Amino acid sequence: MNAILPAILFWLGAWALNEWLVRRRPASRAAERAIRLVVPVLFGVSLLVLWEGLVRGFAVPAVLLPPPSMIWTRLISSLPTLWADFRQTFLKSVLTGYVAGCGLGFLVAIAIDRSPFLQKGLLPLGNFVSALPVVGVAPIMVMWFGFDWPSKVAVVVIMTFFPMLVNTVTGLAAASSMEKDLMQTYAASWFQTLVKLRLPAAWPFIFNALKINSTLALIGAIVAEFFGTPIVGMGFRISTEVGRMNVDMVWAEIAVAALAGSVFYGVVALVERVVTFWHPSVRGGRA
Amino acid sequence: MTARDKILPVLTILAALLVIWYAAAVFLNAPFERDTAARAGTTIAFSDIVPRTMAQARPVLPAPHQVLVELWDTTINKPVTSKRSLVYHAWITLSATLVGFGLGTLLGIALAVGIVHNKAMDRSLMPWIIASQTIPILAIAPMIIVVLNAIGISGLLPKALISTYLSFFPIAVGMVKGLRSPEQIQLDLMRTYSASPSQLFWKLRWPASMPYLFTSLKVAVAISLVGAIVGELPTGAVAGLGARLLAGSYYGQTVQIWSALFMAAGLAAILVLIVGYAHSAVLRRMGARP
């Protein structure tokens, strides 16, 4: 019981501090930004402390839920394994598949841009496929492309293709007719209109798809590894270590996956801010 | 735009896909037939290969009609209680999906209400809710299942929990947006009526959030089905559509995999359609003109 009370007290204290912090009206811009940063971090830390305290206090067996400290030591001690898994799953399968799938979706969207007939045919299908459990194709891809990373790339390509296609086609239609008319008065060609007007107008939609896909790609690659892999990879490690009841290793792997996913998402979001600096949602954040 | 205008392009694309599928089936399955012929010491003409590629027991890519026959066989010709019936497996997956979807909806709405009404929750929870979705949560699915199995909880609940985790996010985010969608002028009007906080919520914020809620529900129901299917993978292929996928991949039963996939696709389509219908029904009762 000795660890529960301090943990709960810490959590309540952090909560109270947060309540106090968000009511401050700081004079300087820097202080306000600091508060915006500190509040979620404090919340995260208090959750970890609560987890640690409850697990230790109630003596939950490590097989069920290891305390964060145990996961951390495991993470540090098995860095080479984790790095090998990361390289296999993330650098080989996820990135290749992500680039190929998003690139393909983008190119197909451009290709069908001049054919309203194909657009009308492909858009409802694309929307429909986005709602399907696409990860289900994983066993088929493993059968076709073998156990190593190409089959995972195939799954990721299929998963990321349709969100990209649908969003790009929607985005290319986002420029208003007034702006298109202006381009026409400039005697701009289809290509010039595309590059100078419609693509910039489509960036917010395209980045939306890129962000959705960054998560989908990681999920696709990991789940595909459940259906068969060589003896390396995040999905492989998770499924085998679960079988051996090494739950702390599983959590370490999940921590790596979470970090990779968050950084991936963060990088895409950062690029979005740079590319679509003119968009209200970005400008509003700074003002 | 007339209905014919909408349906014709879709049908054309579908027909094209079907043709491509048949061509791919011939192309991918032909090597097997050539090998068989070579082993038997005979040569085989292309016109003989084509019909055979459509009727292999374990083709690389089954032809569409093989999948349809298997679907028909396992749904109509088998009793619903049989373990060979796809309806039985689909029901197991569907029940986990619905329980998870229900829990996820409640959790998502509760979180959104808290976030809208409490500034500390907004600032501290919102970044973590977003971060929680960059975690490939499906990766945890096998562990949740196995661990809960170890302490004696098995069957429906663990799968439903995975669906819950996946589906609460779109609902929480959509509802936060929806509950904040009333404009200042409308909030001011409520204040001039001296509306209490609960009246403000039930008469303005809640109705205003309905379109957002249903848009999120569509996403959420599709993703809870994915969660339930993936949740069935690590239990050792006992029952459910995910188990059918896994068993099919272990034993090379491609026709079984494809029919399970089509069943899952059909299920997803029906669920999304039901939510879409509920959406338009609610909007109509609220007096919206389409």
ipTM associated with this complex = 0.72
pTM: 0.79
> By the 8 A CB rule, do A67 and A50 touch?
no
Task: List pLDDT tens digits, range A236-278.
Answer: 888 788 777 787 888 888 888 888 888 888 898 889 888 888 7
Provide, rounded to the nearest whole percent, the portion of chain A with pLDDT above 70. Answer: 96
Minimal CA separation from A43 to chain B, in Å: 6
Whether residue B245 and residue A121 make contact (CB cut-off 8 A), yes or no, is no
Whether residue B10 and residue A228 make contact (CB cut-off 8 A), yes or no, is no
Residue B3 near chain A (CB below 8 Å)? no
pLDDT of residue B2: 59
- Comparing A218-227, B52-61, B180-189, the range with the smallest average pLDDT is B52-61
Q: Which of B10, B139, B272 sits opposite A238 (nearest CB)?
A: B139
Task: List pLDDT tens digits, range A14-45.
Answer: 878 877 777 777 777 777 777 777 777 888 88
CATH number of B86-285: 1.10.3720.10
Please name the residue of chain B whose CA is at the shortest distance from the CA of residue A212.
B134
- Residue B139 is classified by DSSP as G
pLDDT, averaged across chain A: 82
Residue A103: pLDDT band (50, 70, 90) is very high
Sequence-ordered alpha helix ranges (H) in chain B: 3-39, 46-53, 64-75, 86-117, 119-134, 141-150, 156-179, 184-192, 197-200, 206-231, 241-251, 254-285
- Comparing A127-131, A178-182, B157-161, B199-203, the range with the smallest average pLDDT is A127-131
- In the predicted model, what is the mean pLDDT of residues A82-103? 89
Which residues in B272-288 are b (16+ Cβ under 10 Å) and which e?
beebeeebeeeeeeeee
Q: Which of B131, B225, B260 sits opposite A262 (nearest CB)?
A: B131
Q: For chains A and B, count residue pairs whose Cβ atoms are closer than 8 Å.
A: 161
Q: Which carries the bigger pLDDT value, residue A203 or residue B132?
A: A203
Residue A104: pLDDT band (50, 70, 90) is very high
- Considering just the CA atoms, what is the radius of gyration of chain B in Å? 25
Q: Which residues of A touch B268 (CB under 8 A)?
A: 131-133
Please name the residue of chain B whose CA is at the shortest distance from the CA of residue A133.
B226
The CATH 1.10.3720.10 portion of chain B extends over 86-285
pLDDT of residue B192: 93
pLDDT of residue A286: 43
- In the predicted model, what is the mean pLDDT of residues B56-85? 75
3-state secondary structure of A175: coil
- Angle of helix A138-145 relative to helix A199-225, nearest 10 degrees? 80
Residue A121 near chain B (CB below 8 Å)? yes
Contacts of B51 (CB under 8 A, 6+ apart): none
Please name the residue of chain A whose CA is at the shortest distance from the CA of residue B125.
A40
* Burial class, A231, CB count within 10 angstroms (exposed 0-12 / middle 13-18 / buried 19+): exposed
